[in-house]
Structure 1
Amino acid sequence: MPILSIDGLEKIFSSANRKEKVLKGINLEITKGEITALTGASGSGKSTLLTIAAGLQKSTAGTIIFQNEALTDMNPRQVRAIRAKKFGFVFQHAHLVPFLTVQEQLELMMDTAELKWSKDRRNEEIKSILDLVDMWGHRDSYPGTLSGGGKQRVAIARAVVHKPEMLFADEPTASLDSKRSMEVMKLLRTLSRERNITVLMVTHEEETLEYADTIVQMKDGVIGKE
């Protein structure tokens, strides 16, 4: 059974002069523990689909079922709770808090998820994930001292330290050079395989698609699987 199912999803953006239908009846199933890549030209609707699936904006029509619960039927408070506890997010830029150390970035995520872990458990989880992303040695560093690749690895660690079910990644390698892009993709694959985290990713970079289990090509608000 899929972890996330999308059925008949539509999105219309309205302005004073016109309406634009950017998603046109999307049907998609996301398999647990796999990496699904949304790709296509700019304006094809892939980022809109990602943000609606993640509960960051509402659809015009259609349903989204996450773990047998309809996100589209939930009120804003319920959706926020799902996002905080069961979802993780990584974007093109790391968006780290400049006045927090690497370890404090992760502690803040734990607080946001309202985890009832002991101090020892929290420290163990932080060390485990920072070891995985090869950033434990930078745990007391501030974002301004890190490379672009280092910041993105910390952003990924922050996104998964609370053990979410799904990771939503919007162009996670777009601001990195090719070497660091591949490092990030290998890390996402490791999280998928070893921690059973389901990844839904938007990308326009062909070389990142080799790390995906499913590729969804989008064009003009519709999709077709490869």
Structure 2
Amino acid sequence: MAILTINGLEKTFKHGSTEEKILKGIDLDLPEGEITALVGASGSGKSTLLTIVAGLQKSTKGEIFFADENLTSLNSNQVRNIRAKRFGFVFQQAHLVPFLTVQEQLGLMLDTAELKWSKEERRQEIKAILKKVDMWHHRDTYPDSLSGGEKQRVAIARAVIHQPEILFADEPTASLDSKRSKEVMELLTSLSKEFRITVLMVTHDESALKYADYTIEMKDGLIE
């Protein structure tokens, strides 16, 4: 069963008097609870597709249906609300807030998602997730004292703490060595299966593809 359906998605960028068509009519169903990897050469449209589906930019044409709701018909506030409460994000860089400790990073995500949890429920959930990613012992540590792999584990914990329905991952292992990449992908896979989170991942990392349930190849703005 598809949790998200894309119909005829197009994206055109204007550069003065010229136009560049990045997406040329994408049709795609995202299977619920599975990991789908988007692959293809640089410039094929992978990241553009991911950011549009995630509500980070608008399409030029087409429709996106998420849980029977047409995202392309919603206003910016409605999309922002869905993005905060029902989506999770992991990027190439962890993008942690420099002046917040590890556990405060997760607390900020819970505030953003506006979950009606008690103080004790928040504390227990943060502790449980940080233990799962082996970062509870760093709960009071600031980002500048963490390694790249540790930062990415915190970013993953932050992305799933509110138990989103879809997690969007854009090159989550690109800045890591092979050992750390393996650790991050195993962690991402484990948490997505445990919480039944659907994952859409853009990657150039061939070793990451073995963790995907489906692989979609893009070329010149189209799905091959």
TM-score surpassing 0.5? yes
For residue 3 of structure 1, give the secondary structure of its aligned residue in structure 2: strand
CA distance in 2, matches of 1:39, 1:188: 18
CA distance in 2, matches of 1:207, 1:116: 39
CA distance in 2, matches of 1:194, 1:10: 34
- 1:16 is matched with 16
Q: Which moved more, 1:188-197 or 1:33-42?
A: 188-197
Q: Which moved more, 1:191-200 or 1:52-61?
A: 191-200
Q: Deviations over 1:138-157 (max 9, x none)?
A: 00000011110000000010
Computed over aligned residues only, the root mean square deviation of the Cα atoms, in angstroms, reads 0.6
For residue 103 of structure 1, give the secondary structure of its aligned residue in structure 2: helix
Structure 2 counterpart of 1:94, one-letter code: A
CA distance in 1, matches of 2:142, 2:59: 38
Structure 2 counterpart of 1:6, one-letter code: I
Deviation of 1:191 after TM superposition, in Å, equals 1.5
CA distance in 2, matches of 1:211, 1:29: 19
Residue 133 (str. 1) matches residue 141 (str. 2): no
- 1:212 is matched with 212
- 1:100 is matched with 100
Deviation of 1:192 after TM superposition, in Å, equals 1.9
Structure 2 counterpart of 1:13, one-letter code: F
Deviation of 1:166 after TM superposition, in Å, equals 0.7
Deviation of 1:15 after TM superposition, in Å, equals 1.2
Deviation of 1:69 after TM superposition, in Å, equals 0.4
* Runs (4+) off by over 3 Å: none
For residue 184 of structure 2, give the secondary structure of its aligned residue in structure 1: helix
Question: Structure 2: which 5+ residue stretches go unaligned?
Answer: none
Q: Deviations over 1:176-201 (max 9, x none)?
A: 00000011110111012111011100
Deviation of 1:17 after TM superposition, in Å, equals 3.1
- 1:36 is matched with 36
Structure 2 counterpart of 1:126, one-letter code: I
Residue 26 (str. 1) matches residue 26 (str. 2): yes
CA distance in 2, matches of 1:72, 1:185: 31
CA distance in 1, matches of 2:33, 2:136: 25
For residue 182 of structure 1, give the secondary structure of its aligned residue in structure 2: helix
Structure 2 counterpart of 1:200, one-letter code: L
Q: Deviations over 1:105-148 (max 9, x none)?
A: 00000001111100111011101111111101100000011110
CA distance in 1, matches of 2:193, 2:87: 17
Residue 76 (str. 1) matches residue 76 (str. 2): yes
CA distance in 2, matches of 1:163, 1:194: 10
Deviation of 1:205 after TM superposition, in Å, equals 1.0
Structure 2 counterpart of 1:78, one-letter code: Q
Pairs within 5 Å for 1:169-208: 169-208=169-208
Structure 2 counterpart of 1:202, one-letter code: V
Output the TM-score relative to the length of structure 2: 0.99
- 1:123 is matched with 123
For residue 164 of structure 2, give the secondary structure of its aligned residue in structure 1: coil
For residue 174 of structure 1, give the secondary structure of its aligned residue in structure 2: coil
Q: Deviations over 1:56-90 (max 9, x none)?
A: 00000000000110000000010000000000111
